[in-house]
Structure 1
Amino acid sequence: MVRYFLAFLFVLLTGVQCLYAQLSYQISNYSVHEAGGGNQNWDISIGKNGGIYVANNYGFLVLENSTFDLYKLPEPTIFRSVAYINERVYTGSFEDFGYWEEDETGTLQYHSLAASLENRNMNNDEIWKIVEHQNKVYFHSFGSVYCYDIESEEVYRLNAPGSFMFLYMAQNEIYTQQIQGMLYKLDNDEFIPIERSEFLQQEEVTSILDLADNTLLIATSEDVYMFDGDTFQEWQAESLDEVVRNRINTMVKTENYIVIGTILNGLYIYDLNFRLLENINRQNQLQNNTILSLAVDPFENLWVGMDRGIDYIAFDTPIHPYLEEPDGIGSVYAAALHNNELYIGTNRGIYGYKRDENGNFYDKTLIPNSQGQVWFLKELDGSLYCGLNDGTYLLEDNELTKVGSIHGGYNLKRYPGSNPDLLLQSTYSDLVVYQKEEQIWSEAYTMTGFQTPARFLEFDHIGNIWLGHTVKGIFRLQPNIQLNRIDQVREIGVAEGLPQSTNLVFKMNNRIMTSISDTLYQWDAINEQFVPYHDLDEYFTVKESVSNIIPVDEQRYWVIKKSEILLFEIYFNSISLVYRMLPDMYNFKQVERYENVIPLNENLHLISLEDGFAILDLDLVNKSKYPTPEIHLKSIKVTDSRQVTSFVDPDSPTEAIFGYRNNTIHFNWSANQVAGNRAFFQYKLEGIDNKWSNWSTDTSFNYLRLPPGNYAFTVRSIAPNGILTDPVSFSFTIKQPWYLSTGAYILYVILFLSSVLTIRLYLSRRRWKALGKELEKNQQEIINDRENAEKEIVKLNNEKLQSRIEHKSAQLASNTMAMMRKNNLLNSLKDELLKQQEELGEKLPGKYYRKLIKLIEDGIEDEYEWEIFEQLYNEAHGDFFKRLKDTYPQLTPSDLRLCAYLRMNLSSKEIAPLLNISVRGVEERRYRLRKRLEISTDTNLTELIMTF
């Protein structure tokens, strides 16, 4: 048994090989990270309401309302099997099995059944399969089969004749294969061998499927057989050898398909006539080639559990993507359905596809000599024309015939009005006119008067030609009657009402249109101005520029944005939305700046993509079985400024009012979308947001630090058929803080009035205080003026006194100089008299000589002069003699006289004549003066006297 189990695991973990095939079904990928579990997804079961339950390496995954939840047991274990049965989810793992039920909060709780086994000993058993039959649930491992009787709640081990491979439910019976043995049927807890199944002893049964007419499809390690209850015969199906070689692991049947999951190469899809339709693997969107489990949901779509990841394949969808590898057909720019074959124009050439009776396209072929950029494919009068980089061609029987030589045929349109036999083409350079000869349209001539590369080409109601230059903007051309020359060229821009230049030119409802930013503009032919066109604004859900408008017929138009594609029906002024699609819902990437939807016929429309294309069947849109999802606000979490969190019941009938501190609010929502169809949401908070958010799969949003006010949070979703759901709203109020409440405002008014009164009182007191200060100031100024006057008087007296002193000093100096000159003169006379007496001798009588000498000496020592000098000196030097005598009373009059002369800074030589002594005599007196003043030789005598 262990050997077979190890062999089984080896097959599961064997490496993968990839084959390329064309994908024609919509696939949604859920990565390991996105699902939140481990790598392997061993089993899948579908619940009553479309919930998805997955047995995973990390635990038990539940997908409801577009979000995954992971459940685990206390002990880490791998879940190998899962089955939804009668409101319970049964799971099997290592040495344990049981069921999960919701508690009162909606959370699944586990109840072990293995714990009820008598003498519980599961001998390392892992439960790999769970099936229900006749109100009993059977749990299979490679060593044992256990049974749980739902009515009696008894749990027991079956008596089995050996070890068995998996259990399979088919035709309301349980089938299994004994390891290296026959096929058995499990009936009333008994294993009954199937006759004529002995040949399976050399093969390993890997899956059993219930076909119509009581026939089983049995897949083994070596072949696939059909069993009608009596005989076995090989299944006759296309490419069966390839399928078996890639190791069949599981099979399921939908309403229209048989799906086989392999270990090495993904999925093989057969129709009910056993014709192979598709091989889906890693090369065309499947996440992994190792298929571990399959399950069909109520809408006949397929869930795929793989070695890494979970995928959802929708068969019942109006949109069928045909996506390619990076080196596939390239970016799609043009398409046409011609003679029941689909032709695709890309940046790599033209590809042709055949179409089967089911409407699927297959057998891709590159048209010879078409390599390069393809700008348009158009059927005209039953023939297919193509605009290529090097010219324009007619495509017949997969062969190209050149009908136009001008490079870069962007467009080819029938000229309106009275010229039905003329076509006009915009190219990389010229405007080219085509005419029909022998049932074939071909280049006739080029129009003169204007030459420019123009991608967009339209005609207005009076025959003017509108061109969208690839760079420079919009031009309106007026041709002559013969349509061979452009007579008038007008560049259309800001002067014609546009906010800025653009090169987009469309035509809708017989009006010339353009688009700038998130606004459409319509040409007003009367005023010759572009005016904003808002009739479609209410239908748009994203604020983006319209990149293209494609007419389907006279009333229907595709309006294309980067994030939104809409189909409108416009009849006069009546507008209705037919269909809306979000490219992100299908992981579509439109060709940037060349977004395009191409009508193939009334119902089929092709969406151009960067890596292929998608076919939209409008007839299937109207027949969609998917219900419109309903949105539910799951939780509202309120956090205050202190990070304290509380929860609010979204369904509470009472009005939600939050304190001003509770201003961070987290909203969480979900939609009862069919599991597998990714739910996209838009939300806004009225009071904060001016527009809806961008579409996203987010199911929560956090508003931080909201200001006080009234708010309404609104969220909406979109159904796969493009219908918007009814929005769900939650209104709430964040109260003003207490300091902004009504009572607070009343208090503020009272405080304001009190403040006004207080301020007025304060100002009044301040004014009286200011008046008192002004009075004090005036009085002080009077006092200051009086003091200043007195000071001025004193100053004037001092100045007068100083002037007088200066005058006395000048008199003193003059008197001193006069005394010096007089004494010098008298001393000179005395000296001359002495000299004459010596010379004359007796000739000069002594009597006269002595009289003259006495007169001279009396003149030198004139006391009157000294008194005058002393008076002037005291007046000039402030009682100098008195102050000096008071300080040094021991001074003699001659000392005082010497001090006076020293105070005048006179030298000894100058002092000598004043004292009528010699210079030496002056020095001797100075010496005696020092003695009396008792000063040392280091002290400057003159400087000391100068201090008095």
Structure 2
Amino acid sequence: MHIKHWKVVLFGFMILLFVPLFGQKNDENATARAEIKGTPRIIHYTRKDFSGDPQIWAMCQDNDGIMYFGNNDGTLIFDGARWQTVNLPNNSSVRSLLHSTDGHVYAGGFNEFGRIERDEYGDYSYQSLMDQLSPEDRNLENIWAIHDVQNHIVFRSLSRLVAISNNKAFTIPSTGFYYSAVINDKLYLVNDEGVKTLDLKTLSFESLIIPAQYDHATIAAIAAGPAEDQIILFTRPGASYSFDNLTKSIRHFKNYFTETSNNQILSAIKSSAGNYYLGTLSSQIMVLDESGDPVPLTESFMELQDHTVLNLFESSEGNIWALLNNGIDCINISSPISVLFENASVFDVMIRGGKIYAATNQGVFVSQRIVQNPHFASLEFRKIPGLEGQAWSLQSFHGQILCSHNGGLFVIDDDDILKIEGLAGVWKVIPVRGKENHYFVCTYTGIHMLRFEGGKFEILYRVDGFNESSRDIIQSDEENTFWVCHGYKGVFKLQFDRNFEHVVGLEHFREKGLPSPFSINVFRWKDHIVFTTNQGIYTFNEATNQFDPMTELNERFGTEVNVRKLLQYEDKTWFIQDDEAGFFEDDSKKLQKGLFLELKGTFNRGMESILPINTSNVLIGTTTGLYAYDLSFQQHADTKKTLITEVHYQYNNERIKRSLKGSSEEIPHSASDIRFEFSAPKLKDQTQVQYSHQMEGIDEDWSNWSADPFRIYSQLFPGRYTFKVKARSMIGETASEATYRFSIAPVWYMTHLALGMYAFMLLLIIVGSRKLVKKKIVVEKEKTREEEKKKRTVLELELDQMRLEREKERIERDKKILEEDVIFKSKELANYTMLLVKKRELLTDLREDLKELKEVVKNERSRNMLRNLIRKIGINLNNEEHIHVFEANFERVHDDFFQELKTYFPDLTSKELRLCALVKMNLTNKEIAPILNISLRGVETARYRLRKRLSLDHEENMVEFLEKLSP
């Protein structure tokens, strides 16, 4: 499928309603502003897309939105994602198609007519109805038209009419009816005798118009007229006639070609909107208004693939399909999106004097004047000479248009360009509140003062004290104060003097409550000045001199993505959130972004352009052009369905299709590449349909949106699954969810048959085991008798053994009691040792305290008494009697410990033996020091020497070694 690059193809289908200029770029002399809808897109389908003959004769659409096209190969079927071809039995071309009220699709070819059916696997086939005719009536030649009228399906050929009702067919001889149409359930037929009607109940003809009344011309089409009882006849030479069924009168209506023209009308339809579309031989499509008057179109309208339009069709979505001599074109009339201008990056747009001005990276473009017209607007844009290069913004003050440009500041007056000297690199111009007719010119490197006087603008001076880029600037409610946001340096608060000549106060905020100094923008919203960041929206708190979160907006937008633009217009707030455009209404927190999905990622960062025209229309500029949006577009999701069109998989090197109608299809466990194909043919905008899917049982959530109309699963485990898919277009339309339930069969050894075999085998095993058990019982009884004798002998031995066991148990109990006694005594010894340690620590502390007291006591007698006490305490501390008591108690508890030590290490000293006893008790160095009356360092040294005496490695634990030595 090839989509034209949104060229100015068809300007259309709009009502130009002028309303007062409102919103950005306003001034007191604002002109009227038009509601604009630009160029709808044309989707081109070529033979490369549908792989068939490109000459297309007929078209219809079924209830699911699937399109059927008749060409020289047969019937092309398009579901919005894929093309299929169904051939007639005689391989003739299909000249007529009809989707009837009974839901069937009928096709007619050469000596052939019938129905196109879709089976449960999603495959289409042709079912001939020729057998309902007698053999002599089957020479029909081409079936040129099929009609659903008066509860009959009527097939028209040049030789006869075939009518089918209630599966019964009858023929009506034809006198060369070369055209037919159905209007208000009335069948109109045209031959050389004129225009007639046929009553299928009475099989009677009524002559309405004779050829002389329409100048003996060939009738190309008949369409409903402006009034209910009127019809419009279009002739091939380009004339139209109005016929009144009540008065039976006809009058010449319009002529659409000149007398010397070789052009012809080949087809015509009346759209649901009331317009007439004429397919011509050499000038593509003509459009008429409801009164039948041609709508003037520019040459750019003629952008179809081919000049010859064989037929026209309006789909249920409201799009116009042109069936060409070479291809198929869909004119996306129903889309709310249209193109005004492209091929340049739009940074700003304004409407002034009935023209649209666009500031782009290539300069400033202006449209021709918008002419009020009830149906169409034809706009051509041209570049204004002298403004080539980067243009940033457009403003209108005092009836003059100012263009802020990379090359400076310019005044635009039609094609006359006046540069205001003294400036370069200008972002925009803003009025200064409190200083009438004065404006700040915001440049790359600071701010200049601009004055309007005597009908012209002039630069007065450069504002002193601020040299940063001032693209993002707004005047504060505080007197003579402005806020400036820099994309990388944070926020500046500027205080100017009375005449705005100097910056007298400057505060630079890099954080102060802001998440970072990067990507900050400032806007006015509901009388608040708000600052948007990468982590939410903030306002400035004057009391605390810092930034606080703006709860009302953060609840709408969240704090995860940056809101780069905020613009209020009446009851709507427009925004750019990250890379998506949208709006919300004052009484709603819902963000409306669906209509603008295809613009995602196309905005000029920091210079996003949004221009609301009125409450229902908005212009949006992007890096690819300028687009118009109709907000009144309403979709009806209940009428749009996502279709699962095919399910197949690979099994034993074959492609197997599954039924789409089954409630729960079963797929073999060894199946691979399970493929689901889907489409959403009833979406209005088929240019960029996206799908999201989920496989319940595998996917935890819906997939990301993708343009791929299929999903493949290489392998699935046995179990039950439900595949779900939904669709959307890039204008916010959604199609309801489609589901497909199926199961993957278990492997052979887990099937029901296998499980039954397992149960049968288990039963055999149980029965066989029962017989073996019985046999074994008989054998065991015999063995029992023989063994009873042995048991008596064994019993006596066992009694002896029991006596020995009881004796052993008594010994074990005594041993346990002794061990418990040892443990108890060990605990007592440990407690005694700890008390001893505490006592010696207390005496040591007391001695130190007495020493300090001796120094402060002045009485000599008291000093002598304290000196005696200190000496007694020292004698007590040096007394090793407690060590002997400890050793005696330790030897009683561990009577063989010292013996073992002396046996293995006979050269150990008494102090080393004491240290071994204390270490065995798992005392720390700090606890051992007072017991041995040595310092902590002395204990460490003694332990180090002891390790050497015991020949212990550095990694070996001394406590564990002593425990092993003697438990």
Q: What's the TM-score once normalised by structure 1's chain length?
A: 0.61
- Distance in 1 (alpha carbons) for counterparts of 2:676 and 2:507: 54
Instruction: Summarize the alignment of residues 566-645 of structure 1 with structure 2, pairs less than 5 Å apart.
Output: 566-569=582-585, 575-584=589-598, 595-609=608-622, 612-618=625-631, 620-621=632-633, 627=638, 629-631=640-642
Partner residue, 1:223: 238
Higher relative CO (Cα under 8 Å, sequence separation at least 6) belongs to 2
The one-letter code of the counterpart of 2:94 is F
Q: Deviations over 1:241-299 (max 9, x none)?
A: 49965432111112331111123222222211334335488766644433222122345
1:303 is the counterpart of 2:321 = yes
- Distance in 1 (alpha carbons) for counterparts of 2:448 and 2:530: 21
Pairs aligned (count): 699
**Deviation at residue 454 of structure 1 after TM alignment:** 5.4
The one-letter code of the counterpart of 1:249 is L
Partner residue, 1:77: 92
- Distance in 2 (alpha carbons) for counterparts of 1:729 and 1:532: 43
1:335 is the counterpart of 2:341 = no
- Distance in 2 (alpha carbons) for counterparts of 1:55 and 1:409: 59
The one-letter code of the counterpart of 1:431 is I
User: Contact 1:217–1:224 at 8 Å: present in 2 too?
Assistant: no
- Distance in 1 (alpha carbons) for counterparts of 2:431 and 2:310: 56
Partner residue, 2:222: 208
**Deviation at residue 636 of structure 1 after TM alignment:** 6.5
- Distance in 1 (alpha carbons) for counterparts of 2:718 and 2:495: 63
Partner residue, 1:412: 429
Alpha-carbon spacing, 1:727–1:280, altered in 2? closer, same or farther (3 Å): farther
Alpha-carbon spacing, 1:688–1:720, altered in 2? closer, same or farther (3 Å): same
Q: Deviations over 1:520-545 (max 9, x none)?
A: 675776686899999779979xx997
Q: Give secondary structure in 2 for the equivalent of 1:445.
A: strand
RMSD: 5.2
1:262 is the counterpart of 2:280 = yes
Alpha-carbon spacing, 1:671–1:124, altered in 2? closer, same or farther (3 Å): closer
User: Contact 1:520–1:533 at 8 Å: present in 2 too?
Assistant: no
Alpha-carbon spacing, 1:194–1:454, altered in 2? closer, same or farther (3 Å): same
1:476 is the counterpart of 2:492 = yes
Q: Deviations over 1:390-418 (max 9, x none)?
A: 444555678666667624442233457x6
Q: Give secondary structure in 2 for the equivalent of 1:362.
A: coil
User: Contact 1:264–1:289 at 8 Å: present in 2 too?
Assistant: yes
- Distance in 2 (alpha carbons) for counterparts of 1:224 and 1:631: 44
User: Contact 2:11–2:376 at 8 Å: present in 1 too?
Assistant: no
- Distance in 2 (alpha carbons) for counterparts of 1:428 and 1:93: 71
1:119 is the counterpart of 2:132 = no
Q: Give secondary structure in 2 for the equivalent of 1:154.
A: strand
The one-letter code of the counterpart of 1:207 is A
Point out the structure with max Rg over C-alpha. Answer: 1
- Distance in 2 (alpha carbons) for counterparts of 1:441 and 1:709: 78
- Greater CA drift, 554-563 or 335-344: 554-563
Q: Give secondary structure in 1 for the equivalent of 2:569.
A: coil
Q: 1:42 aligns with which of 39, 53, 57?
A: 57
**Deviation at residue 722 of structure 1 after TM alignment:** 2.9
User: Contact 2:340–2:379 at 8 Å: present in 1 too?
Assistant: no
User: Contact 1:367–1:399 at 8 Å: present in 2 too?
Assistant: no
Q: Give secondary structure in 2 for the equivalent of 1:600.
A: strand
Alpha-carbon spacing, 1:706–1:90, altered in 2? closer, same or farther (3 Å): closer
- Distance in 2 (alpha carbons) for counterparts of 1:282 and 1:366: 14
Alpha-carbon spacing, 1:565–1:689, altered in 2? closer, same or farther (3 Å): farther
User: Contact 1:638–1:648 at 8 Å: present in 2 too?
Assistant: no
Q: Deviations over 1:171-197 (max 9, x none)?
A: 654444446x75555555666665552
Q: 1:386 aligns with which of 394, 399, 403?
A: 403
Q: 2:565 aligns with which of 549, 559, 582?
A: 549
Partner residue, 2:115: 99
**Deviation at residue 55 of structure 1 after TM alignment:** 1.5
User: Contact 1:301–1:314 at 8 Å: present in 2 too?
Assistant: yes
- Distance in 1 (alpha carbons) for counterparts of 2:737 and 2:395: 42
Q: Give secondary structure in 2 for the equivalent of 1:276.
A: coil
Partner residue, 1:52: 67
Q: 2:358 aligns with which of 344, 355, 371?
A: 344
Instruction: Summarize the alignment of residues 151-170 of structure 1 with structure 2, pairs less than 5 Å apart.
Output: 151=166, 153-156=168-171, 158-160=173-175, 163-170=176-183
In structure 1, list runs of 5 or more residues that go unmatched. 1-17, 739-948
Q: Deviations over 1:780-823 (max 9, x none)?
A: xxxxxxxxxxxxxxxxxxxxxxxxxxxxxxxxxxxxxxxxxxxx
Q: Give secondary structure in 2 for the equivalent of 1:127.
A: coil
User: Contact 2:520–2:533 at 8 Å: present in 1 too?
Assistant: no
- Distance in 2 (alpha carbons) for counterparts of 1:114 and 1:737: 49
1:321 is the counterpart of 2:334 = no
Alpha-carbon spacing, 1:380–1:195, altered in 2? closer, same or farther (3 Å): same
- Distance in 2 (alpha carbons) for counterparts of 1:733 and 1:138: 45
Partner residue, 2:682: 673
**Deviation at residue 44 of structure 1 after TM alignment:** 1.7
Q: Give secondary structure in 1 for the equivalent of 2:370.
A: strand
Partner residue, 2:576: 560
Partner residue, 1:697: 707
- Distance in 1 (alpha carbons) for counterparts of 2:114 and 2:651: 43
User: Contact 1:345–1:377 at 8 Å: present in 2 too?
Assistant: yes
User: Contact 1:96–1:127 at 8 Å: present in 2 too?
Assistant: yes
Instruction: Summarize the alignment of residues 457-472 of structure 1 with structure 2, pairs less than 5 Å apart.
Output: 457-458=473-474, 463-468=481-486
Q: Give secondary structure in 1 for the equivalent of 2:598.
A: helix
User: Contact 2:667–2:743 at 8 Å: present in 1 too?
Assistant: yes
Q: Give secondary structure in 2 for the equivalent of 1:235.
A: strand
User: Contact 1:341–1:354 at 8 Å: present in 2 too?
Assistant: yes
1:312 is the counterpart of 2:330 = yes
Alpha-carbon spacing, 1:730–1:603, altered in 2? closer, same or farther (3 Å): same
Q: 1:253 aligns with which of 258, 270, 274?
A: 270
Q: Give secondary structure in 2 for the equivalent of 1:614.
A: strand
Alpha-carbon spacing, 1:366–1:649, altered in 2? closer, same or farther (3 Å): closer
Q: Deviations over 1:360-380 (max 9, x none)?
A: 543546486564344223345
Instruction: Summarize the alignment of residues 812-827 of structure 1 with structure 2, pairs less than 5 Å apart.
Output: none
- Distance in 2 (alpha carbons) for counterparts of 1:242 and 1:412: 57
Q: Give secondary structure in 2 for the equivalent of 1:354.
A: coil
**Deviation at residue 29 of structure 1 after TM alignment:** 1.2
- Distance in 1 (alpha carbons) for counterparts of 2:743 and 2:707: 27
Partner residue, 1:26: 40
Alpha-carbon spacing, 1:357–1:145, altered in 2? closer, same or farther (3 Å): same
Alpha-carbon spacing, 1:529–1:336, altered in 2? closer, same or farther (3 Å): same
- Distance in 2 (alpha carbons) for counterparts of 1:530 and 1:708: 56
The one-letter code of the counterpart of 1:218 is L
Alpha-carbon spacing, 1:334–1:240, altered in 2? closer, same or farther (3 Å): farther
User: Contact 1:44–1:53 at 8 Å: present in 2 too?
Assistant: yes
Q: Deviations over 1:503-561 (max 9, x none)?
A: 87666674554566xx6675776686899999779979xx9976842413387433336
**Deviation at residue 116 of structure 1 after TM alignment:** 3.6
User: Contact 1:563–1:582 at 8 Å: present in 2 too?
Assistant: no
1:289 is the counterpart of 2:298 = no
**Deviation at residue 625 of structure 1 after TM alignment:** 6.1
Question: Structure 1 vs Structure 2: percent identity of aligned residues?
Answer: 19
User: Contact 2:366–2:384 at 8 Å: present in 1 too?
Assistant: no
**Deviation at residue 691 of structure 1 after TM alignment:** 8.4
The one-letter code of the counterpart of 1:302 is I
Q: Give secondary structure in 2 for the equivalent of 1:412.
A: strand
User: Contact 1:635–1:667 at 8 Å: present in 2 too?
Assistant: yes
Instruction: Summarize the alignment of residues 855-934 of structure 1 with structure 2, pairs less than 5 Å apart.
Output: none
- Distance in 2 (alpha carbons) for counterparts of 1:544 and 1:80: 58
Q: Give secondary structure in 1 for the equivalent of 2:392.
A: strand
Q: Give secondary structure in 2 for the equivalent of 1:581.
A: helix
User: Contact 1:460–1:512 at 8 Å: present in 2 too?
Assistant: no
The one-letter code of the counterpart of 1:319 is I
